[in-house]
Amino acid sequence: MARPYVCVLAVAAVLLLGIGTVSRSKNLRDQEHQRASRIPSQFSQEERVAMKEALKGAIQIPTVSFSPGEFNTTALAEFGEYIRKVFPTVFKTSFIQHEAVGEYSHLFTVRGSDPSLQPYLLLAHIDVVPAPRQGWEVPPFSGLERDGFIYGRGTLDNKNSVMGILHALELLLTRNYIPRRSFFIALGHDEEVLGTNGAQKISALLQARGTQLAFIVDEGGFIYDGFIASLKKPFAIVSVSEKGSINLMLQVNMTPGHSSVPPKETSIGILAAAVSRLEKTPMPNMFADKHLKKSLQQLANELSSPTSIILNNLWLFGPLVSRIMERNHLTNALVRTTTALTMFNAGVKVNVIPPVAQATVNFRIHPAQTVQEVLELAKSIVADDRVQFHVLNAFDPLPVSSSDDQALGYQLLRQTIQSVIPEINIVAPGTCVGNTDSRHYTNLTTGIYRFSPITLQAQDLQRMSIQLVHGEAIGR
């Protein structure tokens, strides 16, 4: 059985149970404080096989989102029928209500025994990005198991969470558990293309019903192992904020011409110079962010000298640590708004000088900045009035959720992670550099946390960045 998927399911199960549950056969008051220890330490072989096969089956359904409003609707409908078949107890339990929202998204309302407790929400999404066959070692929707890994689009993003949450709930229900605190499960069908038909509609529905949430858990942070040479144990990052985003199209209009008599400057040349300036002039370093410093200081307590001394004295060594983080493209994304040129379009014929050149740049906005600030900085860096700026879509970073001792959602996640994976001593707050459906739910709670219980090793990140374009695999 692929170990990270078991870990996803175990964390989901312990989180559901740890928040407060009562047995159907016991006095409610007597069971008020039962905790995660009631979860069996091992799943049966039959259950492990069922988990694995359920995930494989989910991967085999090509729930692709192509663009906003353009989905594989046949596959989305099939997926809805699939989860009904795989999780029959979830759908037939009297205290669980299921609703289809936006036709293909799913909202589960699980009513707890104590209505005085504020409910929480678990998020995941069923859609995946397109998967051209080229670049895959196996067919992208095969769900093939090889050498302890299950391959396919959605194994990491995000059907592992979808199936883990539902399977955890199914197993708890078959063990006669009833939640003390009510909760929701929201499964969006268009997260990969902005979430306007799924998560946004679910959020509006909950708001119309007057729902306010204690906290939300979505995909985001991971467990990291081997990233710091002197740190022998893995550590977990729970993202307490999420970067914003701007998709910005730059356009240059010039008089068309023929390559035999070229002008001094062309639309392509002007635009190429503009995007080159953007690439060569990074956005300001925001290392002063207190949450990044808090994470580094937590790590310092597990490190040996001189690293521990440096990280425990960022008031003195902050500039040094900041420069070190800038040098690596992975940690650089944590200290600033990133700039990525993703599309460039110009020209239709080798001997024709095109009148128009266009480029699309994606900025991932650091929580300490705003859309407007980044736009103004981009214009000042380009510094050429011939370059037009068109904002395709944009949204500000999400507010930073609390991670102190009074933050219910964060502390429950921390306790759950360390309960399921005892070797983890450090659970620290961080920033999600990607974008998730959680941004549509800021009207319902101030506590939004992002965590995926998957262990990543240093060599995995480069492979993971390639896999998210070409392929995905979840394994032991």
What residues are annotated to the active site? 127, 191
- Percent helix, strand, coil in the chain, to 5, is 35, 25, 40
Residue 328 parent element (H or E)? none
306: three-class secondary structure by DSSP? coil
Looking up tokens 């068109």 gives: 390
- In DSSP terms, which residues pair with 394 in a beta bridge? 246
Backbone angles phi, psi at 383, to 5 degrees: 50, 50
Q: Are 150 and 138 in contact (CB under 8 A)?
A: no
**Collapsed DSSP state (helix, strand, coil) of residue 16:** helix
Burial class (CB in 10 A: 0-12, 13-18, 19+), 409: buried
Tokens for 221, please give them. 């942070």
> What does the block give as tokens for 388?
């037009």
Give the list of residues 6+ apart from residue 30 with CB closer than 8 angstroms, or none.
Answer: none
Give me the residues paired with residue 125 across strands: 188
- The distance in angstroms from the start CA to the end CA of the chain is 7
> Would you say 111 and 104 are in contact if contact means Cβ atoms under 8 Å apart?
no
The 10 Å CB-count burial string (b at 16+, else e) for 140-167 is bbbbbbeeebbbbbbbbbbbbbbbbbbb
Pairing type for strands 426-432 and 448-457 reads unpaired
